[in-house]
Structure 1
C-alpha cells in the first residue's frame, strides 16, 4: 500500500484552520429562508442554491444548478486522481418552515450562539451537512485524494418529488464508489454513529363529513353527530390501549441492538412530568423497527371563532412511519381500509394521499465502512461509532441503493439528540460540528487508502 497523499496530522491542522471560515459561511446560509413548501417565496430557495453553488466553485469544483420540474439542486464535480475512488457527498439546502414564531427564543433566520450551540432554522438540518462537505474540500485544497461529486438537493424537506428524475437524468455524472449522506444524527454528544436503517413514511389527509352544512348545536345537538366529534372518535381507533399502532397490515419487528435508557430518552424528548411513554417493547424497537402514527394537524374551527353550531366537516393530517421491510403502497391501503372501516355513526370518510417514501436497511460491512469507522474514531478521540437505526425517513436512500447498487452508502450526520430539527429553536452543537468536519476529511483520506489497497 502506498502512503497517503496527506498525513492525518496535516488533515487535522487543515480542518482546524478552515473552521472559522466554514462557520461564517454556515451562518450566511442559515440567513436564507429557503423553504420549498407551497405558499412560501421560492425565490429564497433559488438564492440558497446560488449560495451553495458559489461555495462549491470556491472549492474548485465544476458546478451547475440543475432541476427537473422541482426546486433547484446543485451538482459539483472534481475528477478522481488516477486509480482513486470517487465519493458522492449529499446534503440538502432547503429547510423546514419555522412554525409558531413565538416559540423561538431568537429570529430563526438570524444565527445566534448560546452555550456552545448555534441556533437557527437549518443550522443543523441540513446546512451544517453542506458545510461539513465544504470543510473537507477546503482542508485538502488541491491535494484532494479522491474524486468527488457533490449533490445538494433543494426540496428534501418537501418530499424530494423531483429527486428520482434528477438522479436518472444525471446518473452517469453521479456514479461513485462511495455515497456519503450527511442528513442523519449521532448517537449522543461525544458519541458518533452510522445510520444503518431508517423508517419509511406515508402522509395523508382524512376528512370526516356528517352534515351538508352547519346547524344550530342546541336545536340539533344530541341526535346529529358533529364532524369534529366523529373525527376525534375515528382518530382514537388508530392506537390500542397500550399506544401501539392498531392498523392491521403494517409491518413490525423487534431486535434493535442499542439500549436507550428511559430517563435519557424522556429528557431528550422533553416529556412533561407525569406523561408516560406509549407503545410496547424496547424504546429502540418502538423508534426504529415498529410503525408509528402521528396526527400532525387538524382543520376545524378555532376556539376563538367557533359559533354554537355543529361542525359539518373536519380534517386531519396523518403521518405513518413505516418499519424497515414495509411497503408504502400497501401501508397506505391498510390505513385507508382502517379509516373507512371505523367510520363512526355512518360518517362519510375521505382519505387523500399526500406523499410516501420507502424504508431502508444498509449492510454496513466492507472496507469503506471500516474506513468510516476509523475516521470517526480519529475525530472522536478513540470513541467507537454506534450503528443506529433512525425513526425518521430519508426515502431517497432506497433510490440511491437501487440506482447505484455497487456503491457503499454511508449515512452520517451533524445532529445530536438536542438539535430539535424541524422544531422551534433548532440548533447545532459547535463542538460536535468540528468533529464532524474532521471526520469527513479523515474519511476521504481513508477511502483513498482503501481504494488503493
Structure 2
C-alpha cells in the first residue's frame, strides 16, 4: 500500500510539473490554422497532424505513431489526417484509448476577436485563440498526462495505451467510421476517454453522461422562375424569403419551444441552474428573455432544439429592390437522447414539407446525422474516473448532460461494444468554443491534466 500511495504521489507531482510545457506546446498548436472545412487549406491540417505526431513521438512509449487517413464513405474522397499511436497491454492490464481532435472551427468575423485568432494570448488567467479550448487543449491534456505518467513510473509499465487524434471532427467526421473499420485492432480498448466536452464550471469537474444527437441539413426554397422588381410585383407575388420566414416560424411556438410533431423529449432530473447563471454564461442581455419551458437544463440537455445557422441570400451590401426567386438555409436540429437522429430528421422534413406556404417548392440536401448518447455509469472505469477527477480538482465531479453533439461516439459504441466510454473535457462555460474569443481557463486545464495522469496511474494498478 505504501508503494502504491508513493507512486500516485509521484504521478501527481509530475503532472503539476508538466503543465507549463504542455501550455507552451498548446500555444504552438493554436498557431496552426487547422480548419478542415471545404475551401480551407488542407496543408494546414496536415501541418497540425505532423506537429501532433512529433509531440506524441517525443513521449517515447508507443510501439507505433502514424499519421493516417481513411476514405469518406459518402464521396470516396480522402479524409483529413489523424494521428494514431499504439502500445500493447501486458500482464492482464487494461488498454485505454485517448481521443481528441486537432482540427478547429473557422475564425468567422475576425473583427469580433479581441486578439488574433491564431495567436495565443493570455488575459486574466485564460488563453485566447481558436482551438485553445476546442480541442487542442484536449490533445495537450492527453500528451501532458502521458508525459507526467512516464516521468513518474518510467517507460516499463503494463498499461496498454492507444491514442487517436482526429483531424476532421469540426467538419463532421466524414471518414471516422471508415477509419475505425480500417484500424479496429489498433484502436481496440477497454476504456475510451473522449476529451471533447466541458465541466460544470471552471473549478468543478464533470462526467458527461448524456449528449444530444444532431440532424443538420440544407433546405432549398423556390417560389419563382426568375427574379422580379419588388415594386412592380410585390404584394401579389410570393418571394422566397417571405415563404421561408413563414415556414421557419412554424418550427417554434410563442415561447420559443420546438413545435415539430414527432420530436421527442427525454424525462430526467437536472441539477439546479438559475436564469442568472444562464444569462452570464450565454451572454443574454437584460432585455432579452430565455426561450422554452421546463427547467433550464432540461431545455438544453433533454429537449430538442432547432437553429438556423446559415442562409444564402443577398447581403445587406448587395440588397436590391428584387423579389428573390429561391434561397437556401442551413438548419441544425439537436436531438434529445433516446431518439434516433434519422427519425428526428424525418419528423422535421415532414413538418417543413407539409407547412410550405404558397405552394413553395421545398427540397433537402447535404443531410448529416449523428445519434445521441447516454453513458453507462455503472462500470469500474467510471468509478476510477470520478476518483481521479475529485483528486485532481479537489472537488467531487458532477454528472452533466451536454446540449451539443459528438456523433462519432455512436460509431465507437458500434465498433467497440464492450468498451467503457468516458466523456470528459477541459472547457468551462465561458470557453466560447466555436465563437469569437474562444479561450481556455488555465487552472481548469491544469486540473484536467492532473486528473488524467491520476486515472492512468489507477488503470496501471487494475488487472482485468
Q: TM-score, normalised by structure 2?
A: 0.95
> Is residue 149 of structure 2 the alignment partner of residue 134 of structure 1?
no
> Is residue 378 of structure 2 the alignment partner of residue 398 of structure 1?
no
1:358-406 CA-partner distances (Å, limit 9, x unpaired): 101011122211111110111112x110011100000111111121121
Counterpart-to-counterpart distance in 2, 1:40 and 1:59? 31
Counterpart-to-counterpart distance in 1, 2:436 and 2:42? 21
Query: What is the CA distance between 1:323 and its match in structure 2?
Result: 0.4
Whether the 8 Å CA contact 1:6–1:445 is kept in 2: the answer is no
Query: What is the CA distance between 1:3 and its match in structure 2?
Result: 5.1
Structure 2 equivalent of residue 308 of structure 1? 321
Structure 2 equivalent of residue 28 of structure 1? 28
Q: TM-score, normalised by structure 1?
A: 0.97
Query: What is the CA distance between 1:304 and its match in structure 2?
Result: 1.9
In structure 2, the CA distance between the partners of 1:164 and 1:5, relative to structure 1 (3 Å rule), is farther
> Is residue 168 of structure 2 the alignment partner of residue 124 of structure 1?
no
Gap runs ≥5 in structure 2: 72-78
Query: What is the CA distance between 1:431 and its match in structure 2?
Result: 0.7
Aligned partner of 2:91 among 70, 82, 86 = 82
**Secondary structure of the residue that 2:401 maps to in structure 1?**
strand
Aligned partner of 1:263 among 260, 269, 276 = 276
Structure 2 equivalent of residue 444 of structure 1? 456
After TM superposition, list the pairs within 5 Å mapping 1:57-206 onto structure 2.
Answer: 57-60=57-60, 61=62, 62-69=64-71, 70-141=79-150, 142-143=154-155, 144=157, 146-206=159-219
Query: What is the CA distance between 1:297 and its match in structure 2?
Result: 1.4
- Tell me which moved more, 239-248 or 27-36: 239-248
After TM superposition, list the pairs within 5 Å mapping 1:368-379 onto structure 2.
Answer: 368-379=381-392
Q: CA-atom RMSD, angstroms?
A: 1.4
Counterpart-to-counterpart distance in 1, 2:305 and 2:171? 20
> Is residue 246 of structure 2 the alignment partner of residue 244 of structure 1?
no
Whether the 8 Å CA contact 2:149–2:456 is kept in 1: the answer is no
Whether the 8 Å CA contact 1:90–1:180 is kept in 2: the answer is yes
Counterpart-to-counterpart distance in 1, 2:458 and 2:127? 30
Counterpart-to-counterpart distance in 1, 2:266 and 2:193? 27
Whether the 8 Å CA contact 2:100–2:135 is kept in 1: the answer is yes
Whether the 8 Å CA contact 1:256–1:289 is kept in 2: the answer is no
- Dislocated runs of 4+, deviation >4 Å: none
Aligned partner of 1:350 among 350, 358, 363 = 363
Query: What is the CA distance between 1:6 and its match in structure 2?
Result: 6.1
Whether the 8 Å CA contact 2:149–2:457 is kept in 1: the answer is no
Gap runs ≥5 in structure 1: none
Counterpart-to-counterpart distance in 2, 1:361 and 1:425? 31
- Tell me which moved more, 313-322 or 8-17: 8-17
1:38-71 CA-partner distances (Å, limit 9, x unpaired): 0000100000110011111001122001111200
Whether the 8 Å CA contact 2:91–2:158 is kept in 1: the answer is no
Whether the 8 Å CA contact 1:256–1:284 is kept in 2: the answer is no
**Secondary structure of the residue that 2:310 maps to in structure 1?**
strand
